[in-house]
Amino acid sequence: MYNLIVARISKKNFEAVNNKDFDSILKQCDAKIHHRFGGNHALGGERHSREVLSRWFQRLGRLSPELKLTVKDIWVKGWPNDTTVIMRWTATDRDNPDGSPYRNHGVPIFLVKK
């Protein structure tokens, strides 16, 4: 039952990103959040506080105003003090500068520890 609840919350958070409702996600984050987004670009790097993560979400909203994440799969393993969530998603956004459609996919891993 716990894993089902975590999966629902995780999917809801991705829907919040689609709706640019970043505050609802930030309210769930611990003050000691560690967020890492790979790559050497405007969204890449690490964040270690809710305030800095909030600025990252605002940047995401500016850079990808039409971003639409679609969750394909969610796997949850563990218990409340040590949970791993793995999600598989696809993304679309406004077209690339050359006119080609933007498509992306990813598999983030979330570690939830108390």
pLDDT, one tens digit per residue, over 40-86 is: 999 999 999 999 999 999 999 999 999 999 999 999 999 999 999 99
pLDDT of res. 35: 96
Phi, psi of 113 (to 5 degrees): -130, 150
* pTM to 2 decimal places: 0.90
Element (H or E) spanning 105, and its range? Answer: strand 102-106
pLDDT of res. 113: 85
Phi, psi of 58 (to 5 degrees): -65, -40
User: Does residue 29 contact residue 53 with C-beta atoms inside 8 Å?
Assistant: yes
pLDDT of res. 40: 94
Print the SS3 string covering 29-88. CCCCCCEEECCCCCCCEEECCHHHHHHHHHHHHHHCCCCEEEEEEEEEEEECCEEEEEEE
Distance CA 64, CA 8 (A): 24
Give the whole-number percent of the chain exceeding pLDDT 90. 91
pLDDT of res. 114: 76
pLDDT value at 20 more than 80:
yes
